[in-house]
Chains A and B, each alone.
Chain A
């Protein structure tokens, strides 16, 4: 039972344009969502998070949007840079539970 899904295994975006990565979840108890970036042979690096009491959180080039009614979140990267090429995982957690449930990941390639 995949509670967190990233339906696009890969995405290619021109440098300087916007990258939009999507994530859907099924568990309505999730109340905290995170995005991680992962380079090969490295651990995931935390990028940005959002609590269910918000619908948007911004940090520099990264913005996460949460649509609770649709059980959908997205990560926007503007402008996209070559160093953004990596695998991006969304993750979710519910209150009182230390467990993170990860999506399957989206490989983002930024084309120079």
Chain B
């Protein structure tokens, strides 16, 4: 089973709203990721959690706030977003890379976000 689930599938929000995106995996993976993908562009990494601790923040604006409550769950809290933040938000998970062994990232279906 290589399933990563994301909710909601679609989200429309105003610039003053607060909303959250949720991601879940039950593969025992200890690394989880948030990516942002704009149309006709590759996914761009936003955050990486490793063993429930934030290990990479790709200089993402503070209006995006990640949270990893446990090893299976990853949230992305959204507040005061801008219209240019409209995109597909992808969650991924993997085992943690050790020594020379590489671990594949598995992606969820994404949440399509529209900021009005």
Contact of A44 with B97 at beta-carbon distance under 8 Å, contacts A98-B56, A99-B48 already known: no
Partner of A43, one of B40, B50, B97, B107: B107
Interchain CB contact (< 8 A) of A98 among B88, B90, B97, B108: B97
Q: Does B105 sit at the interface, judged by CB under 8 A?
A: yes
- Taking a contact as CB atoms under 8 Å apart, the answer to whether A96 and B104 are in contact is no
- C-alpha gap A99/B109 in the complex (Å): 19
- The majority secondary structure among interface residues of chain B is strand
A32 on the B face (CB < 8 A): yes
> Is the beta-carbon distance between A98 and B55 smaller than 8 angstroms?
yes
A residues contacting the other copy or chain, number (CB 8 A): 23
Question: When A and B form their complex, what is the total count of cross-chain residue pairs whose Cβ atoms lie within 8 Å?
Answer: 63
* A contact residues around B13 at 8 Å (CB): none
Minimal Cβ-Cβ distance residue in B for A9: B40
Chain A residues engaging chain B, CB cutoff 8 angstroms: 31-32, 34, 36, 41-46, 49, 51, 89, 93, 95-96, 98-100, 102-105
| Chain B residues near A (Cβ < 8 Å) | 2, 4, 6, 31, 33, 40-45, 48, 50, 55-56, 58, 88, 90-92, 94, 96-97, 100, 102, 104-110, 112
| Interface contacts beyond A43-B108, A102-B42: sample of 9 additional A-B pairs, CB < 8 Å, sorted by A | A34-B105, A43-B92, A43-B110, A96-B97, A98-B31, A98-B33, A98-B56, A99-B58, A102-B44
